[in-house]
Amino acid sequence: MENTNQEIPRESGSVKKSISPIRRLFHHSAIYSISTSIQRLQGLIMTPIYTSPLYLPQMSDYSNYGLVYTFIAFMNFVYLFGMDSAFLRYYFLGKESKKTVFSTSFGILVLSGLVTSALIFIFAKPLAEVILFTGELANFIKLAALILFFDTIGNLPFLILRAEERAISFTVFRILRFSFELILNIIFVVVLKRGVEGILQANIIASLLNLVIMSPIAIKYLNFSFKPSLLKEMVVFGLPFLPNGIAFMIIEVIDRFLVTDYLGKDVLAFYHANYKFASVLLLLVVGFRNAWQPFFLKISEQKEAPATYSRILNYYLFAAGLIIVGMTFFIKDILTFYYFNDFYLLWPSYWPGIDFIPWILLSYFFYGIYVIFTPAFYITKKSQYMVLFTGTGAILNIVTNMILLPRIGIWGAVIATVSAYLSMFLLIYFISQKLYPIPVNYKRLFGVFLTIGIGYLIYYIIGPNLPSRAIIFVLLCVLAFYTTLSASERKRLMFSVLDRIKVKK
């Protein structure tokens, strides 16, 4: 293996040229993170309502909501079967026109989506028995099939906006989609009190409205030129992302079904509710990934690309490490505070799960590093390797859950999640470094793990009060600043912050 413990060139001409693209990447990442957060914000905003006995009377109702949306998240990968990744790859590095790439993607996704939705409708009852543990809720599965079809077609205009790096437009449309769904949820759940079925009905209408509003973007690129030869290339590249996506979703969702099977729906309810708050870091990682894929494809042929990727890794380690420590220190205060003497962000019956939030955050931290090492498999067209990483994580997740859930309860699911993402990070690192090496400074990697480790020890063992935690957090920020970033990176970051302050003034 090549030596990856090397220092990045400090102020070479190539580095200077890459500063502006890096700023653009993080600018777009921030915008995409806002849009991704908004996309999932509806679930967080509605959590006090969904967990309230006034609207979902039984904790099992909340579990049914979690299970059906777990099914939707899982099936999203089946409906796309890697064509989203193939679209981005051939949009930038393909030989055909961009309109031909889009039209070919659009045609196959509409056809496959119709067939898949029809099959779900036909087998709705047996699917409900497996997913929701009762065939009486087959209507939930049928509604999920409609959501999946409309969202799959509606996803294509968003891919165009990502490819064109129109992050602001992307976010505006996400805000509209979020607004539709939030308003409709209030109408169907709070006013009409239709429960889980109302949540799904609101989602269907919001998906349709989103599809109508974004149709001009799709029409602009749609020329009805369907090329079988291009489709074959795209499927060969994209199809390995299907088992990869399925394996990833197994890691994300299989614990919901295993927890229900071993511990019951009431335990799943508080696990799922707390997991939502732990997904804050996942939202940021997904936002970063949305900007990252077009970015690394665009600069992949530049000589300094590996050094640029390495610097981005350092910035990610610094930012994500501080987010983990900050949330570990303050999440319990945020969730258990009684706001305006009227409501909690998380109702007391769900509080037993708060202590495992920092560990789910750690798992998403590993996932972020995993995302940063993905360029090797796009650039070298070795997408078949991806399923190795997620497949290993999925198998480890299932086995660990089955061993630990009966013995130590819900913490078994937490350990399984962290183990799965850690294995993905380690595997992709070792294999990607052989295909397309990215320089890594191990001292900095150790520095961020040291910061996180100290934060966890202080919180779980010492348990200081809120003012003490605030002071310790500031000190850990300083520690991470000096152990994770090089002198040139610290200087560059400080100048960037000062420049922004001057601009605002």
Can you give the residue ranges of every domain in the chain? 10-50+243-453, 53-80+83-238
Q: CA separation (Å) from 471 to 43, 320, 494?
A: 32, 19, 21
CA distance 250 to 105: 26
> Residue range 16-21: average pLDDT?
49
Average of per-residue pLDDT values in the chain? 82
Q: Please indicate, yes or no, whether the overall pTM of this predicted structure exceeds 0.75.
A: no
Residue 1 has pLDDT above 70, yes or no: no
Of 225 and 99, which is predicted with more confidence?
99
Radius of gyration (Cα) for the chain, nearest Å? 23
Residue type for position 20: S
CA distance 418 to 359: 7
Question: Which structure tokens are listed for 402?
Answer: 């089955």
Per-residue pLDDT, 39 = 62
353 close to 271: Cβ distance less than 8 angstroms? yes
Q: Which of 91, 50, 75 is nearest to 130 (CA)?
A: 75
Q: How many CA atoms lie within 13 A of 322 on its CB side?
A: 19
> Residue range 350-356: average pLDDT?
82
Task: Kindly indicate the confidence band of residue 496, based on its pLDDT and cuts at 50, 70 and 90.
Answer: low
Question: Which structure tokens are listed for 50?
Answer: 């969904």
Per-residue pLDDT, 32 = 66
Q: How many CA atoms lie within 13 A of 395 on its CB side?
A: 8
Task: Kindly indicate the confidence band of residue 359, based on its pLDDT and cuts at 50, 70 and 90.
Answer: very high
